[in-house]
Structure 1
Amino acid sequence: MSRRGNCLDNACMENFCGMLKTEWIQRRKFTTIDEAREAIEQYIHYYDYERCHLKTKLTPHEKRCQCA
């Protein structure tokens, strides 16, 4: 990790959390914490295995497999 105030280290996670909130969380109403956890787990699976990124036209899983 770098010095405090260097936002580039956190850019990927900030981007993911922003998309999670706008694409998944704000569109739903949760009655329990378990429902929210389940929805977040579903989004993580969707993000890694189904959602193609515009820049690479691949899912993150496909990109990792391609590099390995």
Structure 2
Amino acid sequence: MAEEFLTPRQVEGEYGFRVQTLAQWRWMGLGPDYIKQTPGKGGRIKYRRSAIEAWLLAQTVQTGGAA
């Protein structure tokens, strides 16, 4: 199966992270890995679906356990 690439707007629609939040995370070096297809401030950004899923998995906090 081919890798699926999503624009920030598609990420917003499917995962609920606002486009501006994604941009801020990129600037801060946080959030899921991304691909910058063109140089410069207005460069086109894409996210691999697998990178988003892996990032979400890494953010998962296990609850419960002994106190």
Relative contact order, CA 8 A, sep 6+: which one is greater? 2
Question: Normalising by structure 2, what TM-score?
Answer: 0.33
Question: Normalising by structure 1, what TM-score?
Answer: 0.33
